[in-house]
Amino acid sequence: MTDVRRTVIVGTGEIARWWVRPLLARQDVELVGLVEVDPARATPLLEAFELPLPVHTSVADAVTGERADLLVNLTPPSVHRPVCEEALALGCDVFVEKPLAESLADAQALVAAAAAAGKTLAVMQNRRYLPAITTMRELVADGAIGGVLHVCIDMFLWHEGVRDFLKAMRSPLLEDMAIHPFDAAREVTGLEPIDVTATEWTASTSLMPGSAAAVCTWRLEGGAVFSYRGSWLARGLATSYDGQWRIGGTHGSLTWDGRDTIELERWTDVALVDAKPAERRTIELDPPVDFGHTAALDAMLDALARGEQPATAAADNVASLGMVAAALRSAREGRTVTLDEVRRA
């Protein structure tokens, strides 16, 4: 019989609905309680899903009172660390909404806390589970384009409906959005970053005071280069939030339009002057209905059930958060910044 995880959710804002639906669909999960500083804030969530759950005002009361062994942390990033640390100390495995923590130092502390407690701490890095990302990862791993030479991701759109937390950020694009393409590039290529040169800026037309556009050039291990160009200032000809991708290799290239189509062109005998493509194909994808939340959550829970660490465990995800920290430092200090440098800071 499959063990049932007695699960408590901390934080009942809008993002909670993206978690509750797939949690309720699992036979190995039982939602046993919520945590909200102001219990009245939990009412819309309880009513939307007809949940007869108790609402606690502290993590300790919820975990001990409901005998929980899994905690889902959906609080603002500024309190991710204390909530996760408390839950881990109380004996819970913990899943947390991205970002893992507000700073790289806090993320590193959480990795250590999970290891000390002997518990799993994993983050909802949902873009890893988009059909396009998993398909491109498999193509690259199978050698469809040979060794990776360069990765390009371009995201250009106009960000409307800006929330207050974005308006409070000095670098909203890099602080909030960049974790997705950075983590996805690591996942697809299997290559880790070495250093970055970044520039960020904004415009008078922006709906947020901080820098809403950035260009980052990464050197990856093995000599490959990753170029990210992102903007929330672009009017017209918008990409998707996941951007347009191009990955070039020693024996071919693949592109993803950011929506539902991957194009692959593979060459053989590339050293010949008159070499021709050996394969050209179009891969049509089913668009995800929830930006990968369900697939990511299922993967995390399935890994727990097998006694394994999820692919988005904190110990791995801290590398993607380190990319954000390095890009921010590079943009603000006007110089190339290494990953080793921010890890030591």
pLDDT in tens, 180-227: 999 999 999 999 999 999 999 999 989 889 999 999 999 999 999 999
Are 173 and 59 part of one and the same domain? Answer: no
pTM exceeds 0.85, yes or no: yes
The two structure tokens encoding residue 6: 């007695």
Q: 262 and 283 in contact (C-beta within 8 Å)?
A: yes
Q: Are residues 184 and 74 in the same domain?
A: no
Angle separating helix axes 179-189 and 314-333, nearest 10 degrees: 120
Boundary (domain end) residue, out of 104, 124, 144: 124
User: Do residues 146 and 251 lie in contact, with contact meaning Cβ atoms separated by under 8 Å?
Assistant: yes
Domain that holds residue 51: 5-124
Burial of 30 by CB count in 10 Å (0-12 exposed, 13-18 middle, 19+ buried)?
A: middle
Structural domain includes residue 312 = no
pLDDT by residue (tens digit) across 244-280? 999 999 999 999 999 999 999 998 776 666 667 778 9
**Which of 98, 124, 150 is at the close of a domain?**
124
Angle, CA 343 vertex, CA 341 and CA 344 arms, to 5°: 70
Work out the widest C-alpha separation in the chain, in whole angstroms: 72
Helix (H, G, I), strand (E, B) or coil at 72: strand
Residues 37 and 113 in one domain: yes
Task: Pick the last residue of a domain from 90, 106, 124.
Answer: 124
Shared domain for 88 and 111, answered yes or no, is yes
Q: Does residue 74 share a domain with residue 196?
A: no
Query: 3-state DSSP call for residue 75?
Result: coil
Helix (H, G, I), strand (E, B), or coil: what is residue 78? helix
